Amino acid sequence: MPSVPYWRLSGFYFFYFAFVGAMAPFWGLYLKSLEFNAVQIGILMSLLQVMRIFAPNIWGWVSDRSGKRVAIVQLAVALSLLSFVGVFFGTSFAWMFVVMSLTSFFWSASLPLVEATTLSHLGEKTSRYGRIRLWGSVGFIVAVIGLGYLFDFIAIRWLPWAVLAMVAALLLFSRHIPEAEALSHHTDHLPIWHIIRRPEVLAFIGGGILMAAAHGAYYTFYSIYLVDHGYAKSSVGLLWSIGVACEIGIFLWMPRLLKRFSLRQVLLASFAFAVLRFLMIGWGVGSVVVIVIAQLLHAATFGAYHSAAVQMVHRFFKGRHQSQGQALYNSLSFGVGGTLGGLYSGFTWEMLGPEITFTIAAVCALAGLGLVAWKLRME
């Protein structure tokens, strides 16, 4: 990819998802160390998704009209760094709510714009997206394994310092990403709702919401669930990394996979594997073999799904709608869906138990499978 700023984009993905690798497995444990209960943890963790409902759409709209995607990314990352510093000045629920809200609002604005920038740089070679995005998975693994072993020896309360360093590195890389020209398209003069209201687009977005909701319990309580069943924190980090290692493999394999299967077929298979995966996690936590197999399925439920979904968004939203399209996908799928997932799991975890919570996750994935199979018929 000689014309693509491969390492600059890859570096951004590396530290963006290193941040996720610190937050998703360990931030719930950090909040638990501050003596928050399950409902409070569910609410605070859901803020990472709640802000994805609003921020990407606001910044995506500004980006498509200004043509300054990368400048907006730099501003958003700088403000997220400034906001996160607040965690060092208070630990009450109200204070953490404000700090996490602000951090999440600015942090969530950057990824959709970088996704659109990456795909614009790739041009017609969008199947190579995974070769850049896989470095995000590498960053996640480095963070989750490194911190997992580290927290077997030091207190979890050191976590905010690690997160601060990651966001600072993210800001540094964002300063070196070049702008990419968004090519004009014949739909540029139409409002974005002209695209969104198409049945296949609505089905795709609805399926994305359900897939993200299905992952809510996993991202909020998976680490807590494993630790409560006797797994060491280093083992928790290793299990997370197994899933992401498989994700890297599928990113590398996607160009070949898409030569044999359509994006729709990849999405349907991902939903089916998600149903199986969450049932295995919920009811098989006592078996290391079952849990490892469930983590291997992360290749499908996130890796293959996300790669296919980002390319599907790029296919639906052309020209000046690219940034808004990626923002809309992120805000509705991960924002609305992730928020619903975090909230329902927070309330059902103690009332109904972990097994039923993960069963609800499987039902969400099954509903997404049905919706996409019913209406997404574009290929």
Distance CA 375, CA 83 (A): 41
pLDDT at 341 over 50: yes
pLDDT at residue 32 tops 70: yes
Asked if 333 and 209 count as a contact pair (C-beta separation under 8 A), the reply is yes
Range 268-283 average pLDDT: 97
The band of 189, judged by pLDDT with boundaries at 50, 70 and 90, is: low
Rounded Cα–Cα distance for residues 45 and 26 (Å) = 11
What average pLDDT does this structure show over 327-336? Answer: 83
Residue 301 — left, alpha, or beta (φ > 0 → left; ψ -120 to 50 → alpha)? alpha
Among 35-39, 59-63, 130-134, 358-362, the minimum mean pLDDT is found in 59-63
Q: How far from 168 is each of 15, 50, 81, 172, CA to CA, in Å?
A: 9, 23, 7, 6
Give the residue-averaged pLDDT of 256-269. 92
Task: Compute the average pLDDT of residues 153-162.
Answer: 92
Convert the pLDDT of each residue in 221-253 to its tens digit. Answer: 898 899 999 998 788 888 988 988 898 899 889
Over 90: is that where the pLDDT of 130 sits? no
Both tokens of residue 152? Answer: 């077997």
Task: State the Cα–Cα distance between residues 239 and 137, nearest whole angstrom.
Answer: 14
Taking a C-beta distance cutoff of 8 angstroms, is the pair 337, 146 a contact? Answer: no
User: For residue 232, what pLDDT is reported?
Assistant: 87
Q: Report the mean per-residue pLDDT for the chain.
A: 87
Q: Tell me, what's the pLDDT at 286?
A: 92
Percent of the chain with pLDDT over 90: 46
pLDDT at 211: 97
Q: What is the pLDDT of residue 181?
A: 65
Return the CATH number of 8-375, one of 3.30.70.1890, 3.40.50.620, 1.20.1050.10, 1.20.1250.20: 1.20.1250.20
pLDDT at 331: 83
Say which range, 36-40, 267-271, 284-288, has the weakest mean pLDDT.
36-40
pTM of the model: 0.76
53, 68, 183, 72: which is closest to 123 by C-alpha?
183
Q: Taking 50 as the threshold, does the pLDDT of residue 35 lie above it? A: yes
Q: Considering only CA atoms, which of 6, 56, 2, 32 is closest in space to residue 338?
A: 56
Q: Residues 141, 18, 280, CA angle at the centre, nearest 5°? A: 50
pLDDT band at 324; cut points 50, 70, 90: confident
Q: What is the pLDDT of residue 223?
A: 87
Asked if pLDDT for residue 77 goes beyond 90, the answer is yes
Q: Rounded CA gap, 185 and 180, in Å? A: 15
CA 215/CA 342 separation, integer angstroms = 8
Give the per-residue pLDDT at 280.
97
